[in-house]
Amino acid sequence: MALNLKTGPLTALFATCTLAVLQGIITLCLIKKAGPLHHRLLFHDRMKPTETVDVTEGPTGKADRSTPVQQIMAAAESSPLTTHVLNTGDGVPAARMALSLHRLDSKMMIWNMMSVGTTNEDGRCPGLISRQAFTPGMYKLRFETGSYWETLGQTSFYPYVEVVFTISDPDQRFHVPLLMSRFSYSTYRGS
């Protein structure tokens, strides 16, 4: 549903701030509401824990009307950005960890949420972003590490990990893994 407001600097600022607040609420709800096996978007309660949803608009500027599962499958096949989370303390993949992908709006200097998801049993989260939505800019992957460790009955020094990176050539493939333990983490750019 679109609001029919006169456009101007205050309207744009209000709309951007409102979107940022809603994104924060969705992220908090994912973290607070979801149990270790049931990270789901609130507006689609039938998703499997390893699915992600691209919350951006399609190339025409209109929201994609295909089903969420169809969007997920298409994005998983062609996602130019991948991640893999490994629990190096226990030597296992970090399964069922909530994460989100954001892109910086360089004009407003706020992070826009692009997608949310949960790692699968192998610690991977396929379909983070579609090739069409992957444009040059600054991105952030946010991993909910504190919640992950809580599900294992352990505490962690880091409540979350944010990995910020710049994409200048979106035609390449990018792999951004997270290697973590309760008291350390590292990452690198793979392909």
C-alpha distances (whole Å) from 33 to each of 22, 38, 169 are: 16, 9, 37
- Enumerate helices (H) and strands (E) in the chain, giving the number of each: 3, 11
Phi, psi of 78 (to 5 degrees): -125, 15
Which CATH code, of 3.90.1150.10, 2.60.40.180, 2.60.120.10, 3.90.1010.10, is assigned to 9-187?
2.60.40.180
d(CA 46, CA 69): 10
Q: Assign 160 a pLDDT band (cuts: 50, 70, 90).
A: very high
Q: What is the mean pLDDT of the chain?
A: 75
Residue range 63-89: mean pLDDT, rounded: 70
> What is residue 77's predicted lDDT score, i.e. its pLDDT?
58
> What is residue 157's predicted lDDT score, i.e. its pLDDT?
97
Q: What is the DSSP letter of 90?
A: T
> Could you tell me the pTM of the whole model?
0.64
Query: Do the strands 161-167 and 137-143 form a parallel or antiparallel pair, or are they unpaired?
Result: antiparallel
Query: Do the strands 92-93 and 85-87 form a parallel or antiparallel pair, or are they unpaired?
Result: antiparallel
* Whether pLDDT at 58 is above 60: no
C-alpha distances (whole Å) from 27 to each of 8, 30, 80, 90, 115 are: 29, 5, 23, 27, 10
C-alpha distances (whole Å) from 162 to each of 47, 97, 177, 185 are: 25, 13, 12, 11
Q: Report which of residues 55 and 35 the model is more confident about.
A: 55
| Element (DSSP H or E) covering residue 76 | helix 68-78
Of 14, 16, 178, give the one whose Cα is nearest residue 83. 178
- Predicted confidence (pLDDT) per residue in 125-135, tens digit: 999 999 999 99
> What is residue 191's predicted lDDT score, i.e. its pLDDT?
82
